[in-house]
Amino acid sequence: MANGAPIFDRVALIGIGLIGSSLALAMRLHGLSRHIAVSTRSAPTLATAEKLNLGDSYTLDAAEAVRGADLVVICTPMGAQGAVAQSIRDSLKPGAIVTDVGSVKATTVRDIAPHLPDGVHLVPGHPIAGTEHSGPEAGFAALFPGRWTILTPSPQTDAGAVDKVRRLWEGCGSNVEIMTPEHHDRVLAITSHLPHLIAYTIVDTADQMEDETKEEVIKFSASGFRDFTRIAAGDPVMWRDVFLTNRDAVLEILGRFNEDLTALQRAIRKGDGEMLETTFARARAVRRSIIDAKQHIPDVKPGDESAQ
């Protein structure tokens, strides 16, 4: 990505965890904003952000950070979005754009939109990127290239505002796609939220085994279990908010999953090898599609892949 003129004069980041800090570094690297104002309500986190030189100014007061900002990016856990919107409403400059990075989008609209004054543009966003780490010290500029960011503006939103947010994410190296909040939440329920819920469950099931077995679960984790623990290592507060906010879509897809699992369970109990083999062969074909779509992990050492 060649650096052109900055897209923004002043960007305010409210919340400076993994996504906020990665965005700060990526904006800096690609020259996307003349000034980056960093705000978080935790003094130690703010001190860490300042030590890491993530921004140009630092404050515990979100209202102060957004004053004069062209773009405000709310990077807090989703449960805090409403309170943040309320605290900044009177300090937003006319024509400012507000976006966020939350994993559920219908609630962003519900929690943030009512607080914004006329003339301020809401462009909800979700960069589908992350690691198992959290906090400002986990951020890195290379988090976004090759990943997708989904924007969910309403059809009435100012096209120029949507375009600027798109250019921000593209400037960070991300691909951008636009869809409705409801569609986003349905797609993410199956691609992200259900997998995480299942992974959390299986890790917890193992954690409740007898002590001796538990030790061996760790020791022999390379046989499949390990992959689940990586998925189940995200920030607990963020994931709590995901399931609280995308409840309906998650429960719907969980219902389908339970049906399918029950069918496999019955096949195992009855010794129906044909049903098992057919299902497993179908799943393998899906894996091939993902490799064809270049959304796999290309550089895992072969011996470290999932084992039998």
| Residues of span 86-105 touching a copy of itself by CB under 8 A | 103
232 touches a copy of itself (CB under 8 A): yes
Burial 137-164 (b: 16+ CB within 10 A, else e): ebbebebbeebebbbbbeeebeeebbeb
- Site stretch for a copy of itself (CB under 8 A), options 26-34, 65-73, 83-91, 298-306: 298-306
- Site stretch for a copy of itself (CB under 8 A), options 57-65, 112-120, 157-165, 272-280: 272-280
242 touches a copy of itself (CB under 8 A): yes
169 touches a copy of itself (CB under 8 A): no
- Contacts with a copy of itself by CB under 8 A: the residue count is 113
- Site stretch for a copy of itself (CB under 8 A), options 2-10, 28-36, 39-47, 271-279: 271-279
Distance CA 7, CA 9 (A): 7
From residue 103 to residue 142, the character string flagging contacts with a copy of itself as x (rule: CB under 8 A) and all else as - is x------------------------xxxxx-------x-x
Picking from 78, 160, 55, the residue whose alpha carbon sits closest to that of residue 125 is: 78
Report yes or no: 56 and 27 within 8 Å, Cβ to Cβ.
Answer: no
**Residue 70 class from Cβ within 10 Å (0-12 exposed, 13-18 middle, 19+ buried)?**
buried
Is 235 in a helix, a strand, or coil? coil
- Which 182-221 positions form the footprint of a copy of itself (CB under 8 A)? 186-188, 190-209, 213, 216-221
For the CB of residue 304, give the shortest distance to a copy of itself in the complex, in Å: 5
- In the list 28, 178, 229, 252, the residue contacting a copy of itself (rule: CB under 8 A) is 229
Distance CA 118, CA 279 (A): 53
For the CB of residue 204, give the shortest distance to a copy of itself in the complex, in Å: 6
224 touches a copy of itself (CB under 8 A): yes
* Residue 215 CA from chain centroid, whole number: 32
- In the list 26, 155, 236, 252, the residue contacting a copy of itself (rule: CB under 8 A) is 236
146 touches a copy of itself (CB under 8 A): yes
For the CB of residue 142, give the shortest distance to a copy of itself in the complex, in Å: 6
Report yes or no: 39 and 65 within 8 Å, Cβ to Cβ.
Answer: yes
Report yes or no: 131 and 156 within 8 Å, Cβ to Cβ.
Answer: no
Amino acid at 298: P
For the CB of residue 111, give the shortest distance to a copy of itself in the complex, in Å: 15
- Site stretch for a copy of itself (CB under 8 A), options 2-10, 64-72, 111-119, 236-244: 236-244
Distance CA 286, CA 292 (A): 10
Distance CA 296, CA 166 (A): 24
